[in-house]
Amino acid sequence: MQALEKKQDLAAQKPARRIGKAQREERILGYLFVLPVVIVILVLVYYPLAKGFSMSLHSLNFAMGPSDHFVGFKNYLHVIQDPDTIATAIHTLGYLAVAIFVELVGGLVFALTLNSHFRGRGIVLALTILPWALPGIVSGVLWSRIFHPDNGVLNNVLYRLGIIQDYQLWFSKPLYSIFFIGLVFVWSSLPLTILTLLAGLQTIPSELYDASAVDGAGPVYQFRFITLPLLRPALAVALTIGTVNALGIFDQIYVLNGTALGTRSITLQIYLMTFAQLRFGEGTALAFWLTLVTLAFSVGYIRSLRSARG
Amino acid sequence: MKRTLFRALVMIMIFGMLAAACTPAATPAPAQPTQPPAQPAQPTQPLAQPTQAPAKPTEPPVQPTQPPAPTEAAAAQPLKGQTIEVLLPPWAQLSQDMLDAFEKETGVKVNLTIAQWDAIRDKISVAGASGSPLADVAEFDWSWTGQFSKSGWFVPLEDKISKDLLADLQNTPSFTADGHLYAVPYSNDFRLTAYNTKMFEQAGITKPPATFDELVADLKLLKEKGGVKYPLGMFMSPTENVSTTWYLLTLAMGGDLFDKDMKPAFTDPNSGGYKALQWMVDMNKAGYVAPGGFSPDTSWDTKFVAGEAAVNLSTGPAIMPVANDPKQSTIVGQAGLTMVPGIDKPTASFGLPEGLGIMTTSKHQEAALAFINWWMKPENVLAIQANLGLLPTRTSVLEQEIKDNKLPGGEVLIEQAKLLKPLFPSGTPPWYSQFSTEAATLLNAALKGDMSVQDALNKLAAKATALQSGQ
């Protein structure tokens, strides 16, 4: 009897073992599928990151010689005390403010417009995406033709309309320059915000609007109590992407106003420090500061989104 | 199970293909380590001069760097089969015909990559910092000498080129640091002034200005009588160009950037540097310079040959071939060269020469050296001048051109060349790049009126002092 029970137990265990083996094989196969991507990410992302971090902890200044030594976080402290870094950080926040404000307000207006059905919507959508497809350096060159003080389109039009008496130097004052360069940046980054918000808008069920209309809600009320709350995830994504991009602004500044300190951003400062001045240790330390700030902004947006969801 | 195994095999194959794709391709050129050293008995001169013109009596005889080869052709081309990477800016883009001629002569193939000047510096920095090979021969600007000499990214060349060539070359001090020569100068660029003879005639001016007072008087006439709205071409943008313009005017006004103890010498209102910046500010305020001078993408050479400026204050010798080329210029036959004005007479200018350096990561240093030596042959220097407008760096070639009356603006060039002064008599310091970037910002601020001349120069002096003390 006992032998029979044992036999039955073994018979019951066999398929279980077979399933376990199959699962293990599946798991191994899964790992094999993932392995190439993991290796690529390790080699292309984490190895340079680790190498860069190690570099930031060394007194690496090739203009003073190839030898270096470990200095801990000295580079990190040194770069944030540098008046040029402080100035460029303030400028970067200026670009960020212009970019986020215009991208969110403008993006929302465009997305709401494109969410409605009208003739030629597809063409308008395609044209909207076009500036995003252009590399930053190209949009910079394009806008430098518009802002050019001698023969720029903007001066020409305003002069012919009698709005200005003389051709203007649009990048003469740092504050105006940051605003104008910020706008040029927004021109190329706005399409992404529009698309993100448009995708968010299209996930909102139309029944909600129909039901609220039956209850007597007008467009403003619908926007305030249906559209905005349900668009919050898309807004968080747009904010995160917009912030990351704005903190990395470089091309437009370089083309439109060179390396002038009055308009220099953090990334431009990193570039000058690292590649022009060969201060690799300090340059990478500043780059890691920027990474931390970017990360903090992104985490902040995601957390605020979670807390809003309750 | 079979299916699982099949999938695993497919994965392994894909992974294998990826790994194979990541492996560097084998180069057709023979591996360098298999070649014996050229002259083991002379460790300080390991590279021979196989490409020097044998016809030139002053050059050393050809010294084969390889063991005797089975055929005569192989012996004549000891470097045959090698390929070198050459990285140069657009103004040094040799024609394919010339590169083919070099290959025919030496058997060395050249892969020429053209990149913008500042992009080349960035590429060198990245490659140098990571220790990865970038090019065998690379552009080397005079302003990089201080930084790159310390970095160890370029091979010292003073013992590798012939003494005769070394003696014949101009501008070598600009590429020398701590007694080592890091590049062989190929472009004898220095600052002088170009003017439009037709515009001058129309304004009733009979001779080019020799002093700043004359220049200001001429600009007034050109604007009022000659109808040239913005007669003066002068950089004002926050770029290296505004810095070099100010350096030039500082020397031309009888000053220096630093005294013999390397203390800033430009904050005193009577100093050359102060007077230079004040003059630049005054010229802009007087409306002699087009506002486009503030734009980073403005090229005064382009504007000058388009007839948009009567005086191109700070230009190089290469302006003449361009100004007289109907494909590029609307002022053919109208351009004239003159020396940079001075207080009482032309007194000084400075050079912005460019050189060819060999990177330490190069595995074909002998072939790279052969390329530089080939470039420096008189006939090639002349051909490059004819094609690209680069003024020769070899004194013997320049003298012959003047003798044959073949150098456009020759007399002015020679006279100006006699007045060249180094910006940094003891060599370009390693902090030059930081100083120059700061100078560009502050000079631009003063020119825009955001800052007084005194404040801008005081701040620049403070920065220079801080940089020297390592802050």
Residue B54 has pLDDT above 70, yes or no: no
DSSP element (H, E) containing B311 = strand B311-315
Domain ranges of chain A: 2-56, 74-309
Distance CA(B463)–CA(B458), nearest Å, equals 9
Give contacts of B146 with chain A, Cβ < 8 Å.
63
Q: Among A9-13, A171-175, B126-130, B226-230, name the most confident range.
A: B226-230
DSSP string, B333-396: TTEEEEPPPBSSS---B-B--EEEEEBTT-S-HHHHHHHHHHHTSHHHHHHHHHHH-PPP-BHH
- pTM exceeding 0.80: no
According to the model, what pLDDT value does residue B457 have? 97
**A222 vs chain B: nearest CA distance in angstroms?**
48
Once rounded to an integer, what is the mean pLDDT over residues A171-194? 92
Give contacts of B12 with chain A, Cβ < 8 Å.
32
Inspect the interface and report whether the beta carbons of A149 and B12 lie closer than 8 Å. Answer: no
Q: Of A271, A276, A65, nearest to B125 (Cα)?
A: A276
Q: Are B110 and B103 in contact (CB under 8 A)?
A: yes
**B296 vs chain A: nearest CA distance in angstroms?**
6
Inspect the interface and report whether the beta carbons of B238 and A64 lie closer than 8 Å. Answer: no
According to the model, what pLDDT value does residue B53 have? 32
Q: Are B177 and B345 in contact (CB under 8 A)?
A: no
According to the model, what pLDDT value does residue B68 have? 42
Residue B39 has pLDDT above 70, yes or no: no
DSSP element (H, E) containing B176 = strand B176-177
Residue B48 has pLDDT above 70, yes or no: no
Distance CA(B182)–CA(B155), nearest Å, equals 6
Give contacts of B291 with chain A, Cβ < 8 Å.
149-150, 167, 169
Residue A55 has pLDDT above 50, yes or no: yes
Residue B57 has pLDDT above 50, yes or no: no
Distance CA(B31)–CA(B35), nearest Å, equals 8
For helices A2-41 and B2-22, the axis angle rounded to 10 degrees is 20
A2 contacts chain B (CB < 8 A): no
Inspect the interface and report whether the beta carbons of B450 and A255 lie closer than 8 Å. Answer: no
Who wins on pLDDT, A238 or B44? A238
> Which of B441, B455, B469 to probe the A interface (max A CBs under 10 A)?
B441
Which strands, in side-by-side order, build the sheet including B184-187? B109-114, B83-88, B137-141, B354-358, B184-187
In A, minimum Cα distance to B441 occurs at A260
Once rounded to an integer, what is the mean pLDDT over residues B11-29? 42
- Per-residue DSSP letter, A218: -
Give contacts of B152 with chain A, Cβ < 8 Å.
65-66
Q: Are B310 and B283 in contact (CB under 8 A)?
A: no
The β-bridge partners of B342 are: B211
Once rounded to an integer, what is the mean pLDDT over residues A134-145? 88
3-state secondary structure of B450: coil
In A, minimum Cα distance to B143 occurs at A276
DSSP element (H, E) containing B315 = strand B311-315
Cα–Cα distances in angstroms (integers) from residue B109 to residues A210, B62, B79, B85, B154, in the given order? 74, 20, 10, 9, 21
Q: Are B340 and B420 in contact (CB under 8 A)?
A: no
Cα–Cα distances in angstroms (integers) from residue A44 to residues A37, A50, B22, in the given order? 10, 11, 12
According to the model, what pLDDT value does residue B360 have? 95
Distance CA(B394)–CA(B454), nearest Å, equals 42
Closest residue to A29, CB basis, from B7, B296, B438 = B7
How long is chain B? 471
Q: Among A114-118, B35-39, B213-217, B343-347, name the most confident range.
A: B213-217
The β-bridge partners of B358 are: B137
**Radius of gyration (C-alpha) of chain A in whole angstroms:** 28
Who wins on pLDDT, A267 or A6? A267
What structural domains and CATH numbers belong to chain B?
Answer: 78-188+352-415 (3.40.190.10), 192-349+431-468 (3.40.190.10)
Inspect the interface and report whether the beta carbons of A32 and B295 lie closer than 8 Å. Answer: no
Distance CA(B94)–CA(B88), nearest Å, equals 9
**A31 vs chain B: nearest CA distance in angstroms?**
10
* Strand pairing report for B311-315 and B232-233: parallel
DSSP element (H, E) containing A34 = helix A2-41
In A, minimum Cα distance to B16 occurs at A36
Q: Kindly report, residue by residue over A193-232, the tens digit of the pLDDT.
A: 999 999 999 999 999 999 999 999 899 999 999 999 999 8
In A, minimum Cα distance to B297 occurs at A255
Q: How confident is the model at residue B139 (pLDDT cuts 50, 70, 90)?
A: very high
Helical residues (DSSP H) of B89-211, grouped into ranges:
96-106, 117-130, 145-151, 163-168, 197-202
The β-bridge partners of B111 are: B85
Tokens of B138: 């690379």
In B, minimum Cα distance to A262 occurs at B441
Give contacts of A172 with chain B, Cβ < 8 Å.
294, 448, 450
According to the model, what pLDDT value does residue A38 have? 95
Give contacts of B129 with chain A, Cβ < 8 Å.
60, 62, 278, 280
Q: Of B361, B466, B335, B237, nearest to A260 (Cα)?
A: B237
Tokens of B209: 């200005």
> Which of A24, A62, A71, A263 to probe the B interface (max B CBs under 10 A)?
A62
Q: Which positions 402-461 of B are in contact with A (Cβ < 8 Å)?
A: 430-431, 433-434, 437-438, 440-441, 444-445, 448, 450
B1, amino acid identity: M
Q: What number of CA atoms fall less than 13 Å from residue B3's CA on the CB side?
A: 2
3-state secondary structure of B202: helix
According to the model, what pLDDT value does residue B452 have? 97
In A, minimum Cα distance to B239 occurs at A258
Give contacts of A151 with chain B, Cβ < 8 Å.
292
Q: Kindly report, residue by residue over B78-111, the tens digit of the pLDDT.
A: 888 899 999 999 989 999 999 999 999 999 999 9
Quick check: ipTM above 0.90?
Answer: no
Residue B293 has pLDDT above 60, yes or no: yes
Is the domain covering A74-309 a CATH 3.30.230.20 domain?
no
> Which of B9, B122, B150, B304 to probe the A interface (max A CBs under 10 A)?
B150
According to the model, what pLDDT value does residue A8 have? 57
In A, minimum Cα distance to B12 occurs at A32
B285 contacts chain A (CB < 8 A): no
DSSP element (H, E) containing B185 = strand B184-187
According to the model, what pLDDT value does residue B71 have? 53
Give contacts of A40 with chain B, Cβ < 8 Å.
18
